[in-house]
Chains A and B, each alone.
Chain A
Amino acid sequence: MTAPAASAATPVTAQRRRGTLRSRGLLNGRVVFGGTLLFIVVAVAVVGLVWTPYPADATNLQARFAAPQWLHLIGTDELGRDILSRAMVGAQTSLIISACAVGIAAAIGTVIGFLTGYMRGVIDIVLSRVIDAMLAVPALVVALGIVAMLGASATSVTVALAVAYTPQFSRVFRGVVVAARDQTYVEASRGLGLPAIVVVVKDLLPPVLPIMVVQVTTSLAWGILDEASLGFLGLGVQPPAPSWGSLLIEGRQYMYDAPWLPIGAGAFVVVAVLGVNILGDGLRDVLDPRAWTRRHSYRKGGAK
């Protein structure tokens, strides 16, 4: 028996677990917990589209500064407006701004990251220096400058945050692409004569994805916070339109007399940020195929 064909019939790993979501760990604790928190926040925002306990800008001078009670679950503000209703409507603004900003930043950052990481050369040198310069300034400061130029509005906040986040995305992705580009398997794919775009999609994008998930979730959380911060500084969505940021700034003045004003909006921010972060953390593990079987098989490293 010398035929090499006969020899390779047995699989190496006895147990192979793949396919179901649970076995992939997609339902791991962090994904479930983070997902639930995020779902609650999004659900509240969606419900706010069609129904709120009170109209968001309906004033009621009889019920100014009402503490949390059955009729106003998290109280009212100085004009007697229902905080819960305003927070529900404000959630839409905050979440949409954050999601749009991060989406734009991720898209542009991906393109820049791949351009600089894969192509090298002059493009890399020039773009990377620009990115470096932008990274040297805190994102919020960059955003502040842009909003100051464009004027305070939901759109300008979105644009400002997108610009502010792009350098982080491109920097992180460039690193991953540079590391992946020199892998032997990338060389092999190029050696097959595959077009560059196929190599990028098949071999370079997959290692970026888990990083992308982490970066997107982290940025989403920051987006919510930064929108609130801009609002807090008076550069965000303008009153009387509600957003978590504008609710926070309105509530700040009465923090000692009516603490439910800032706490109500703040609680939404905390839950949303926490949920997004935990979810991202859990998802990162799920995206690595090696992790699916690794936890079931002996790792050789120990015996070495």
Chain B
Amino acid sequence: MTGATTTKRETPEALLTVRNLSVHFRTGDTTVRAVDDVSLSIGRGEIVGLVGESGCGKSTLGMSLLRLIEAPGEIVGGEVIFDGRDLVPLPEKELRRIRGRDISLVVQNALAVMNPVTRVGEQLTEVLRDHGQAGRADRLVRARDVLASVGFPRPAHSLHSYPHQLSGGMQQRVSIAQSLLLGPRLIIADEPTTALDVTVQAQVLQLLTSACRTQGTSVLLITHDLGVVAETCDRVMVMYAGRVVESGPVRQIFTSPRHPYTVALLAALLPLRGAPPPVLQALPGQTPQPNEWPSGCRFNPRCPRRAALGDPAICEAEEPALRDVGAHAIACHFPGEDAVGTGRGSVRVDD
């Protein structure tokens, strides 16, 4: 677990390193900066959470790692270095070999990516065949084993099911099985459990993480739910309005968040045990949409810390860069020392 505790954004043993990646959507004369100058790295065997609200660019970022962005979206800059190779300039043909084999994808709606008239067994063996695994019998055995590993009680029987005959949780399990088939080194999981019931979500997450831990697979878990991140991930990155605003080891982010947005997200996390608070700490305003990022620090119109500091001009004028502060990296002009809670009493840290 060397990668989990490092404070640097680039680790020497990183499996995936993203540098200054920008993804823009151009429609007519407007350019939407959905992902703007994002850098990150994922170590081997590391499970990294990417957290953010709707429209913050987290899914766009996830898709762009596999270059699955469709027009009018476009990677306009940056590098995606996977295992020493930059995927951005790679020819489509070579990229296709990487997808599925080295990096696989799990999406929210498993049913939507499955062929409704093909049995589960064929869906799985097809992937194996496409990637050159010979022998139909071998392929079936492999498919059955993978199904068993994701918790199908009767895997041989389930190979003959059609996707619609399975419950939502089972469909998502098939989709995870499919992503595990070729023994990838990185799984990008985009809200894999959002559509599931909590009891099923817990099982699916448990399964995904244990499968990856045993095989040493890295995971980028894209989610809106900090609760899920807390118990699944080693490290977490918080995105807001197309930028990463804070990243660090999970425990540190949850116990001492530094960015006022992270602080607010954690405060909005409702407690399950104990008497509820009389009123919730709520951020003012709305989640900004990609065509209306505010200028300067994109969080500034909603920022309680900025309000507490008497609206310093720099917040509106300058976009803060992601800088290492202690064990975290945070993008705030006023990273603060005692940022836990409301963000009041923050002190400017001179660098």
Contact = CB atoms under 8 A, between A and B. Distances in A.
A297 B304 CA distance: 29
A7 B291 contact: no
Given A1-B304, A298-B32, 14 more contacts: A1-B284, A2-B280, A2-B282, A7-B283, A7-B284, A7-B286, A8-B285, A10-B301, A299-B27, A300-B55, A300-B290, A303-B59, A303-B290, A304-B59
A298 B32 CA distance: 8
A7 B281 CA distance: 12
B130 interface: no
Nearest to A299: B27
Given A12-B289, A14-B292, A297-B291, A302 B72 contact: yes
Interface string A233-247: 000000000000000
B329 to A, nearest CB: 24
Given A6-B284, A10-B285, A12-B286, A302 B73 contact: yes
Contacts of B283: 7
A300 B34 CA distance: 10
Interface in B63-120: 70, 72-73
B59 A7 contact: no
A193 interface: no
Contacts of A7: 282-286
A287 to B, nearest CB: 23
A2 B27 CA distance: 38
B25 A302 contact: yes
Nearest to B34: A303
B300 interface: no
Contacts of B284: 1, 6-7
B308 to A, nearest CB: 11
Interface in A288-304: 297-300, 302-304
Given A298-B32, A298-B291, A303 B73 contact: yes
A96 B290 CA distance: 53
Q: Specify which of A300, A302, A303 lies most central, judged by the most chain B CB atoms within 10 Å of its CB.
A: A303
A4 interface: yes
A12 B288 CA distance: 8
Contacts of A300: 55, 289-290
A17 to B, nearest CB: 14
Nearest to B56: A303
Interface in A247-304: 297-300, 302-304
Given A298-B25, A298-B291, A303 B282 contact: no
28 contacts: A1-B284, A1-B304, A2-B279, A2-B282, A4-B282, A7-B286, A9-B285, A12-B289, A14-B292, A298-B25, A298-B27, A298-B289, A298-B290, A298-B291, A299-B27, A300-B55, A300-B289, A300-B290, A302-B25, A302-B70, A302-B73, A303-B25, A303-B55, A303-B59, A303-B60, A303-B73, A303-B290, A304-B59
Interface in B272-303: 279-286, 289-292, 301
Contacts of A303: 25, 32, 34, 55, 57, 59-60, 73, 290
A5 to B, nearest CB: 10
B75 to A, nearest CB: 13
Interface residues of A, number: 17
A9 B70 CA distance: 34
A4 to B, nearest CB: 7
B281 A2 contact: yes
B151 to A, nearest CB: 29
B32 A10 contact: no
Contacts of A298: 25, 27, 30, 32, 289-291
Contacts of B304: 1
Nearest to B286: A12
A125 to B, nearest CB: 30
A201 to B, nearest CB: 32
Interface in A1-52: 1-2, 4, 6-10, 12, 14
Interface string B182-219: 00000000000000000000000000000000000000
Contacts of A2: 279-282
Contacts of A302: 25, 27, 32, 70, 72-73
Contacts of A304: 59-60
Contacts of B289: 12, 298, 300
B326 to A, nearest CB: 28
Nearest to B307: A1
B48 to A, nearest CB: 21
The 3 lowest CB-CB distance pairs between A and B, nearest first, are A298-B291, A7-B284, A303-B34
B32 to A, nearest CB: 5
Contacts of B279: 2
Q: Specify which of A297, A299, A302 lies most central, judged by the most chain B CB atoms within 10 Å of its CB.
A: A302
B295 to A, nearest CB: 13
A1 B25 CA distance: 36
Nearest to B30: A298
Interface in B4-25: 25
Q: Specify which of B57, B70, B281, B284 lies most central, judged by the most chain A CB atoms within 10 Å of its CB.
A: B284
Nearest to B289: A300
Q: Specify which of B279, B283, B286, B291 lies most central, judged by the most chain A CB atoms within 10 Å of its CB.
A: B291
A195 B93 CA distance: 62
Contacts of B281: 2
